[in-house]
Structure 1
Amino acid sequence: MVQPDEFEVWYTAEDFPDSFHKTGRMVFTVEALAHALFVTGRAPQDQAAFGWTSVYEWLHRVALIPAYIRRAPTGRLTRSDLARELDRSEKVGLSYTLGQGMTGIFSQQVISVRFLMHVDRYAARYGIRFAANTRRRADLFGERETGGWVVAEAKGRSGNIDDELKETMRAQKRTIRSVGGEPPALAYACAAHFPQYKGIPDHLKLHAVDPVEDEFEAIDLPVDRNRFALAYYEPFLAALDTGQEEPITDGYQVASFGPFRASIGVLDVVVQRVQQAGQGRLDGLYQDVVELLETHLATARPANRFTDGTFVTTKWQEALNHDDWSAEEGEGFYGWR
């Protein structure tokens, strides 16, 4: 049963290993979506060179949720009437952002990815250069809780997806041959879209593909796990520095962002260790963070607290339940799953 503060999104998984269900149901909170938008952002994290761009980028991205995303009575994720009336370029921007966020949700819930990051953010942070003929590459990479790198491509569409998009997804998600010298354990692509049936728009659906073939021009992504961990947490630390400081809560440092009605928290022990890494004690960071998470994360956690030792809280319930979207028929139509 979907709770009043949760979304429900169904997915289909094509060409995944047999251990994965071909269809499935993801249930998540708006805070989980906001968290996914945070970690999949691409803004560079070198504060000395770029200031607080990562925080401003995240605030821009998450503001799209109360502005355009609505919760149908059954919990399905739909769009406001205003979102459907956006011009083409604005719809593309919304779909792109939602596609990245939903790829983050799928990666965490279905693939069990604890750390996920935009390839360009890591590359920008450490000055990695790619050959001129490798512009087409996957968006995201990360590591599963059970070990093993993953590579993910994110797409978003305001309508149906077609065979051409599926072929593009198949090609792009296999454009990274190795991460840190290791072949990805999984390389998949996700398309979040709002399918239509007989002209009637339905609720959000996710289509994921995981073919085996590598692209001819696939690249190797040089990654060091310690630098990966530092780059992953830097935007969270920037958020703590930028927002309004709040009292430490259950061992989490907390910052709030008033007009956005959102807050971010990070385990204090993780903050301290990452700060030490930023001051030069980089060796052992990744393993130290993993051990801190295993020690300090409660087994039973609220839905807004995540396996990376962070949390997000929002006060968007009124906006999400606002009755400014057209009733969509076919909500119980099983065939689209």
Structure 2
Amino acid sequence: MAQQEMFEVWYRADSFPPDFYPTDRMKFSADDLAHALFVTGRAPADRWKHGATSVYEWLHRTTLIPAYIRRTPQGRLARSDLARELDRSEKVSLSYMLGQAMTGIFSEKVVSVRFLMHVDRYWGRHGMTFAPNTKKRADLFGQRLSGTWVVAEAKGRSGGVPPELRQALIAQKRAIRSVAGKQPEIAYGCVAHFPRETDGSEFLKVLAVDPPEDEPEAIDLHVDPDKFVQAYYEPFLAALEIGDEEPASGGYLFSGYGQFGLRVGVLRSIVERNKQAHDGRLSGLHDDVISILRQQLPEHPREGQFHDGTAINTKWHDALAQEDWSEYYYGDKPFWY
């Protein structure tokens, strides 16, 4: 039996390096989901230039979780009845958001990624240009705990994974040849999907693919590590400023969004260093933040705290525990009981 507050989602990792389990399950919380949706957002994140845009986008994305996602008694992730009654375009939007979120979860839990960001958000913040001969590029890129770079393509489907989607993952995820002058250590396509099993159940699964081929028109991401870290934390700083200030705790500054059941925190020392970067002391930001994280974070942060020095806490237990996913029930017991 899963822990009461944890989801369990099985993944399959094809063609990954041999030190990755080809099939295993991920355990994560609603806090993890909210954090993953935060970091994979693509809205402009510069608080001083774009106002509250990134925070509003994040609130929109995260509220999809209590509205449409349910945790079964055994921890499986299912869609609510309301989610299955959405029209086609709304289902596509929900699948897209889940694809982004689960790519974030897979990246953190399986690939040990500390910083993950949407390519378009870095591009929009720092004016990065792409080669004119290609329109292909992966959705996300990031840095592992080890310091190496990864690239990820995220997709979501309301059903299974057709062969053409698998081929699309292969084609798109190698569209980035290098990040900050270095070849990505791992570049993978990731799809969150709800395959219909023989017992009638439709629980979330994740397929990740990491074949070795490069795209002939693969591009180089000219990324500055200091600007990367600056862009990464800006939406968190915006969330701290816009929300309702709460008492600091454990070295974190917090702001609450009570009506949404959310609380956001960032280590005070990281906030202070990023403010210095905004005021002109950008050089050395990446290394300084890594040093802060090594000194102040335990190897295994507490639930709701993350390896990037942020914290997100949710209060969605009642919503996630609702049994409004009746398609799976037969009498008093679900098909998979």
Post-superposition shift, 1:199? 8.4
Q: How does 1:225-236 map to 2 (within 5 A)?
A: 225-236=225-236
Find the aligned partners of 1:311 and 1:188 in 2 and give their Cα distance: 26
Q: Match of 1:331? A: 336
Q: Match of 1:190? A: 190
Q: Match of 1:254? A: 254
Aligned residue pairs total: 332
Q: Match of 2:331? A: none
Is residue 202–residue 330 contact of structure 1 (8 Å, CA) maintained in 2?
Answer: no
Find the aligned partners of 1:187 and 1:114 in 2 and give their Cα distance: 15
Post-superposition shift, 1:130? 2.0
Q: Match of 2:207? A: 207
Q: TM (normalized to structure 1)?
A: 0.96
| Deviation sequence 1:60-100 (CA, Å, 0-9, x none) | 00000000000001000001001011111000000000110
Q: TM (normalized to structure 2)?
A: 0.96
Q: How does 1:28-107 map to 2 (within 5 A)?
A: 28-107=28-107
Residue 199 and residue 89 in structure 1: after superposition, are their counterparts in 2 closer, same or farther (change >3 A)? Answer: farther
Post-superposition shift, 1:296? 0.9
Structure 2 residue ranges without an equivalent (≥5)? 329-333
SS of aligned partner of 2:220? strand
Find the aligned partners of 1:323 and 1:304 in 2 and give their Cα distance: 25
Post-superposition shift, 1:47? 2.7
Structure 1 residue ranges without an equivalent (≥5)? 333-337
Post-superposition shift, 1:129? 2.2
Please tell me the root mean square deviation across aligned C-alpha atoms, in Å.
1.3
Find the aligned partners of 1:12 and 1:331 in 2 and give their Cα distance: 21
The amino acid of 1:265's aligned partner reads G
Find the aligned partners of 1:331 and 1:9 in 2 and give their Cα distance: 15
Q: Match of 1:19? A: 19
SS of aligned partner of 1:138? coil
1:116 correspondence with 2:108 = no
Find the aligned partners of 1:198 and 1:294 in 2 and give their Cα distance: 47
| Deviation sequence 1:139-159 (CA, Å, 0-9, x none) | 000011012100000000000
Post-superposition shift, 1:135? 2.4
Is residue 297–residue 307 contact of structure 2 (8 Å, CA) maintained in 1?
Answer: yes
Find the aligned partners of 2:37 and 2:101 in 1 and give their Cα distance: 5
The amino acid of 2:298's aligned partner reads A
Q: Match of 2:217? A: 217
Find the aligned partners of 1:252 and 1:134 in 2 and give their Cα distance: 43
Q: Match of 1:321? A: 321
Post-superposition shift, 1:48? 3.4
Is residue 202–residue 331 contact of structure 1 (8 Å, CA) maintained in 2?
Answer: no
Percent identity (aligned): 59
Residue 244 and residue 310 in structure 1: after superposition, are their counterparts in 2 closer, same or farther (change >3 A)? Answer: same
Is residue 155–residue 192 contact of structure 1 (8 Å, CA) maintained in 2?
Answer: yes
The amino acid of 2:243's aligned partner reads G
Find the aligned partners of 1:112 and 1:162 in 2 and give their Cα distance: 28
Is residue 33–residue 101 contact of structure 1 (8 Å, CA) maintained in 2?
Answer: yes
Post-superposition shift, 1:268? 0.3
Find the aligned partners of 2:246 and 2:102 in 1 and give their Cα distance: 29
